[in-house]
Amino acid sequence: MQYQSQAVAKPYFIAAIGLFVGQILFGVILGLQYVIGDFLFPEIPFNVARMVHTNLLIVWLLFGFMGASYYMVPEEAETELHSPRLALALFWIFLVAGALTVLGYLLVPYATLAEITGNDLLPTMGREFLEQPTITKIGIVVVALGFLFNISMTILKGRKTVISMVLLLGLWGLALFFLFSFYNPTNLILDKYYWWWVVHLWVEGVWELIMGAILAFVLIKMTGVDREVIEKWLYVIIAMTLITGILGTGHHYYWIGTPEYWQWWGSIFSALEPIPFFMMVIFAFNMVNRRRREHPNKAAMLWALGTPVMAFLGAGVWGFMHTLAPVNYFTHGTQITAAHGHMAFYGAYVMVVLAMISYAMPILRGRAAANSEKSQVMEMWSFWLMTVAMVFITLFLTGAGVLQVWLQRISESAMPFMVVQDQIAIFYWMREVAGVVFLAGLVLYIMSFFVGGEEKTAQA
Amino acid sequence: MNSSVQHANGRYPPGDFAIWIFIYAELLAFGIFFLSYAFARANNVELFNESQLLLNRTAGAINTLLLITGSYFVVRAVAAIRDDKAQLCSRWLMAAIMMACAFLAIKLVEFYTKYQEGISLSTNTFYMFYLSMTFFHFMHVILGAVILAAVMLKARNGAYSREEHTGVETGGSYWHMVDLVWIILFPLVYIIR
């Protein structure tokens, strides 16, 4: 560790992994509820399990992004963090607020939670992914502002690199677009219209900048390739991301009451969204081929190379599959979307955070560069288990989706939604098995942190 | 004449390689727009022909001339820096930027007229394409002019020379792309019927 204050990243990474476990446990419960509808009912109804599964994902990724920023920024800016104490204080505030919110979801009915938290004063609840009580949302804004203040001050007083600027742009964008979660118009179309400004402009906009910056940082550290080369790539990638991603928002505006031109705009621009992801694949492999050193942390290298590949497949290919308006006319809101969502989130954001953790954690735990051979082998096993399981989750959901579209929307004798759900149960069962394998991979991942052995050093 | 294919350091393509990735991506985006236009038109030839007649072709033709002239000035700017004449280079770039500004002014008048007539993206499919494609291109003219302005300032401050002028070629390449797109867009949307 070059700077003492980088150590604040450690609790963030640990919390991220802890919440990740929670997310996957609820995912497995949820997957089972698709086929055994009253499983754990009435304790954990389907809608609550789903809410916890998706909210935990977002919260742990935010923990991961914050930890990554606290680790990267001092090294990039070549100075200590502006205030490590603020970073630690915000960590506890965010963790406690997050835990209370999830407990609220689990222990009281959602309507009661809305009542207790004074939702009627400023109603923001009840919308997918933005289910958090208004006070939690305000808490998120406070934590984000404190975090941004800390990171921005650090960058301002130190060296300003392209990587830290791209990261900062992404993080500020993340905070700004979240403000739209407080805008809750009564018109359902307008509501959805701005809802996507949080959801889409996060994951297909500013988060991609954060992802690009983290990936570039890890690659610089591991390959020793010239900063200049990596920065040029980063420029081109973020430019393409913003050009395609911002107007690509239009691919969510089909058939919800917005003007028809969105069908064209959304189709054309979002069809190009795979390009920046493909550039990331070329970028990562190019950098590794040109490497000037053999970094001893092979596990981190595996995550860093896996990230762009899975992101391209999940976000790029699986996104493109149903992004054109004439296709989306049939697939809108089916299991095709779920298939895309799973692999895109895993490939782009889960893996990039795990790549960062894999790179930084050994150093944060006092090692020179890497864990022992044995620990790395176990971590690489967990990489393959989780990644392959995710591929199968995606394929099974795609199968379910194709069949669902056919039975429910195309076939001459179209069936109602719930009847179709029964017909495609076999895919849900197979998805559940893949989900359990994913959980096993995650357990192995955590075990790898506890494997001792002699530290691996660079090969000659 | 040969100087136009010779590059300072004999590299191909000229300028920074990153700009070419960008140029190809831009061409792809416009290409998809043009293809979509063709498909939409094939389904509705009459509407497209009718609406097309209401466009201001004179303004479009003048704008085409302006952009081509601008490209010529950019070529002169690259030739100037190859002769190590940085001040001359920056003056040619200024001339090209003036062409871009004139283009933008005329286009704004066109947009304003259409707005006055109550035409919007939702009027019909033809106008959806006309407004989207020309506006998208409009934004690129602005970006191209900004890039040329940055290059011009650097040229004026002596940042380029006969030996090292990648930046001029990079800016020039991008500008030619903006021009090229218009050369396809203008006949496609304003004229071909």
| Cβ distance of B18 and A269 shorter than 8 Å | no
Nearest to B160 by CA among B104, B94, B109, B84: B84
Give the whole-angstrom CA distance, residue B113 versus residue B108: 9
Give the whole-angstrom CA distance, residue B111 versus residue B109: 5
* Residue A317: how many other CB atoms lie within 10 Å: 15
Burial class (CB in 10 A: 0-12, 13-18, 19+), A2: exposed
Q: Is residue A24 part of a domain?
A: yes
Give the whole-angstrom CA distance, residue A325 versus residue A36: 34
**How many structural domains does chain A have?**
1
Residues 209-238 of A with CB under 8 A from B: 232-233, 235-236
Is the preceding omega at residue A42 within 30 degrees of 0, hence cis?
yes
Q: Is residue A304 part of a domain?
A: no
Q: Phi first, then psi: give them for residue A412, nearest 5 degrees.
A: -55, -40
Contact at 8 Å (CB) between A73 and A167?
Answer: yes
Q: Is residue A21 part of a domain?
A: yes
Q: Is residue A148 part of a domain?
A: yes
A130: containing domain: 1-160
Question: Which tokens go with A402?
Answer: 């194709």
Position A2, amino acid: Q
Find the closest chain A residue to B31 by CA distance: A268
Residue A458 pLDDT exceeds 70: no
Mean pLDDT of chain B: 93
Residue A303 pLDDT exceeds 90: yes
Contact at 8 Å (CB) between A363 and A296?
Answer: no
pLDDT on residue A459 = 53
Residue B2 pLDDT exceeds 50: no
Give the whole-angstrom CA distance, residue A6 versus residue A76: 11
Contact at 8 Å (CB) between B131 and B114?
Answer: yes
| Cβ distance of B122 and A233 shorter than 8 Å | no
pLDDT on residue B9 = 55
Burial class (CB in 10 A: 0-12, 13-18, 19+), A454: exposed
Contact at 8 Å (CB) between B172 and B79?
Answer: no
pLDDT for B73-107, tens place per residue? 999 999 999 999 999 999 999 999 999 999 999 99
Mean pLDDT of the B22-49 span: 94
The answer to whether B20 contacts chain A (CB < 8 Å) is no
With bands split at pLDDT 50, 70 and 90, how would you rate the model's confidence at B12? confident
Position B51, amino acid: S
* Closest residue to B32, CB basis, from A233, A271, A279: A271
The answer to whether B127 contacts chain A (CB < 8 Å) is no
Query: Which 3 state secondary structure label does DSSP give A455?
Result: strand
Residue A456 pLDDT exceeds 80: no
Contact at 8 Å (CB) between A304 and A254?
Answer: no
The answer to whether B123 contacts chain A (CB < 8 Å) is no
Query: Which 3 state secondary structure label does DSSP give A372?
Result: strand
Identify any residues that bridge with A10 across adjacent strands, giving them in sequence order: none
Give the whole-angstrom CA distance, residue A172 versus residue A199: 15
Residue A63 pLDDT exceeds 50: yes
pLDDT for B17-29, tens place per residue? 889 988 998 999 9
Domains contained in chain B, CATH given = 15-191 (1.20.120.80)
pLDDT for A76-112, tens place per residue? 999 999 999 999 999 999 999 999 999 999 999 999 9
Q: Is residue A256 part of a domain?
A: no
Q: In percent, how much of chain A has pLDDT > 90?
A: 97
* Closest residue to A268, CB basis, from B21, B36, B122: B36
Q: Is residue A73 part of a domain?
A: yes
| Cβ distance of A264 and B129 shorter than 8 Å | yes
Residues 278-297 of A with CB under 8 A from B: 279
